[in-house]
Amino acid sequence: MKEDEIHMMVSPLILNVHFPPISEVKRWLSERPDDGQELIDLCQAVPDYAPAPELTEHLSRLVRDPQVSKYSPDEGLPEVREAICAYYGRKYGARLSPGNFCLTIGASQAFWLAIVTLCRAGDEVVVQAPYYFDHPMALDMLGIHGVYAPLVEAEGGLPNPAVIERLITVRTRAILLVSPSNPTGVITPPETIRELYNVARRHNIALILDETYNEFIPGGLCPHDLFNDSEWGEHFVQIASFGKTYALTGYRAGMLVASGEFIHHALKAQDTMAVCQPRITQLAVKFGVENLDNWVAVNREMMARRHDLFRTEFTRPGNSFQLVASGAFFAWVRHPFSPCSGRQVAKRLVDEAAILCLPGEVFGPGLEGYLRLAFGNIQEDAIPEAVRRFRSVKVETL
């Protein structure tokens, strides 16, 4: 079939969306020369450790039950959502009901549910850059316009509520923020999240907050107090995930958290999109929220050590790469090879230093001067070698 004939079969909206960045850069590996160096993968944020042994053992018993292979209610099993209510009470001091939750196929599906429930083609969403690339990909496919609040290095990549408010128009339906940030790792302070919520409330729009990495805030601190507002559901939608929390990324353990009315309408899309989250995933989440708080805390402390070590090593004098922001699983780095794009630099790093990372331009317009490093999926003893390879790359070689 000719290329123009293929284009006739594909929506113009999806034709203009870039290919998934992680899939793109992993294709480079087949072209990489064999120089004997072992690859260090800083590309995708996947915990390198296994799920808790007691969770694995629990699931191995459950799979023998034929009921585990059946559908569940679209929003998830009542007993699972009850258990999550208790978890939210511990984590946020929140008093939520099972009707505030819809369990989803990963956080990405939760985002789709939120957007198709909130928006129609032609609407706008204000997005803090650098952003998680899947979000604008989804917006573009749906004909929804992303309006991007720029990265300000001097502010550490944190969102500025005043800047975001100036971007709101009559077509704006939501403000979108990820905290802790993917890609920068930056943790937005609770008071800033509250300010953004107040901005959304003033303009009668939604604050969509993706908190996929909320269990990796050092000390296990409460990310914000929005759930304590008696009318939080009028202007707040949370995207949540247990995949990173319990090292269950392949189980696709996402969740949409919103008002009962919002969830009621989102279930119309849920039923046509996925029907329900797999029961085995739901039961894994239930076991996790009921039994694994201490296990999560141990891994949180381990990730904090990895971050501290990475930051210490990377910022020693003599590194031509500049650390702009970091935290949780990620580091946001300015490369020294202007006018080369991030894609060009990332490709060379694969070929010459056996380092796999993502180019900055996939996280927003005008970000070709940056790279995203996901250090959270390499062990502490590999971090000094990873940083040494960055230091070994000379400006004149690129």
| In the predicted structure, residue 397 carries a pLDDT above the cut 60 | no
Cβ within 8 Å of residue 228, ≥6 positions away? 92, 93, 94
In 198-257, the DSSP E strands lie at 206-210, 236-241, 253-257
State how beta strands 358-359 and 370-374 pair. Answer: antiparallel
Confidence of residue 254 (pLDDT cuts 50, 70, 90): very high
Mean pLDDT over residues 185-198, rounded? 97
Q: Which of 71-75, 227-231, 260-264, 389-393 has the lowest mean pLDDT?
A: 389-393
**Residue of higher predicted confidence among 357 and 352:** 357
CA nearest to 181, candidates 332, 41, 306, 23: 332
Mean pLDDT for all residues in the chain: 93
The pTM assigned to this predicted structure is: 0.94
State how beta strands 172-178 and 358-359 pair. Answer: unpaired
State how beta strands 145-149 and 370-374 pair. Answer: unpaired
Q: How far is CA 234 from CA 100, 169, 206, 285, in A?
A: 12, 19, 8, 27
CA nearest to 12, candidates 115, 135, 140: 140
Confidence of residue 32 (pLDDT cuts 50, 70, 90): confident
* Long-range residue pairs from 105-109, CB within 8 A, at least 24 positions apart, any chain: 105/252, 105/254, 105/274, 105/277, 106/241, 106/243, 106/252, 106/253, 106/254, 107/210, 107/212, 107/239, 107/240, 107/241, 107/243, 107/254, 107/255, 108/134, 108/138, 108/254, 109/252, 109/254, 109/273, 109/274
Mean pLDDT over residues 49-68, rounded? 94
The order of strands in the sheet holding 124-128 is 101-105, 253-257, 236-241, 206-210, 172-178, 124-128, 145-149
Domains, in order of start, for the chain: 3-50+295-393 (3.90.1150.10), 53-291 (3.40.640.10)
CA nearest to 330, candidates 26, 44, 28, 19: 44
Q: What pLDDT, on the 0 to 100 scale, is given for residue 3?
A: 57
CA gap 395, 204 in Å, rounded: 49
Q: What pLDDT, on the 0 to 100 scale, is given for residue 394?
A: 76
Q: What pLDDT, on the 0 to 100 scale, is given for residue 20?
A: 87
Q: pLDDT tens across 266-275, in order?
A: 999 999 999 9
Confidence of residue 5 (pLDDT cuts 50, 70, 90): low
